[in-house]
Structure 1
Amino acid sequence: MRFYRFFLLACLAPFIFAPISSAQALDKIRLATNWRAQAEHGGFYQAMVDGTYAQYGLDVTILQGGPQQNAELLLAAGRVDFALGANLFQMFEAVRQKTPIVKVASIFQIDPVVLLSHPQAGLDKFEDLPNATAFIASDFMVSAWRWLKQAHGFRDEKIKPYGFNPAPFLADKQSIQQGFLTSEPFAIEQMGGF
């Protein structure tokens, strides 16, 4: 009888103690996002909730970004292990400045950055946009804005700071605003009705 108890315990031990050992073996990872939680980041949060990270031996902490945070600099400084970048222009700038980071994936195959204008404001064609007041954030100025100036005649004197609030854009019918295809159009539709 004693032998059977020992045998049963020996057979069950790997199953009884497996969760404990696998929980202790999780590698801690810090991931910085390029913005607050949003639809584009859904898969990263879902993997936390459904246990995918743990299944692969990872204990992931997600640090949300925001308007005054730079995920790439947090990565270069060693404060996080992985970072979501906003766009490829920022990666080019990091390479130019010899920032010690490596890009490992591209989530979007096409950059979802957009320029938004008001309906019936005479800003229906791309060639009309350089003459409009442009609500642009600082990260956009060091990325896509440089290309817009060089290739399409956009001018710095037309820039007004974009603080990630569409209210100034909504108040100025002759303006344009930078946006992310999956975020700002929805917010403007909700606030501005178009």
Structure 2
Amino acid sequence: MTKTLNYYNQCAEAYNETTLNIEFDSKREMLLKYLQPNAHILDLGCGSGRDSKGFLQNGYKVTAVDGSKELCKIASKNIGQDVICQLFNELDAVNEFDGVWACASLLHLPTNELKQTLKRVEKALKKDGYFYASFKYGDFEGERDGRYFNDFTEVSFSTLLKEFPNLELQEVEVTTDVIPGRENVSWLNVIMKKID
């Protein structure tokens, strides 16, 4: 994880420029259609703050978190509120959030750490809360382009989720990368509901 965080700390400005103004309303709608107005959303691994900004502009309450100190500084400016600098394994909220948004963030965790984080997210969600996550599509796990990646398919993610009976899969969508020049990259988008 250290190498991945170093990557984001060193490339924070470039990452911000690449991601901040991408049109992402339709992806956010995947989660928002399940939530009430003014719901409280945890943006877990908020990066540049693009999605936190979108949620705030639509009247939602947002808690934004990222593990990269440099991205936290940039995202705080972008969204106009403090971003909490925290690693996934430091999440300790209980029954606090109506929704959790983990866009292209949990994909940096090795499987054992991902399972621990899913337990923490489950605890942080209120009953009947919803949880969005996205992963690069495939079956690769390991280092790629200076970062750790854990890719999933519909089958491998469903298998992983069997260990979390309280997280019920609601929706799965495979989409194409929205960043220009990455049209050949596919993503697995999943929505889960905390049922107990």
TM normalised by structure 1 equals 0.30
Name whichever structure is richer in helix by fraction.
1
Name whichever structure is richer in strand by fraction.
2
Larger Rg: 1
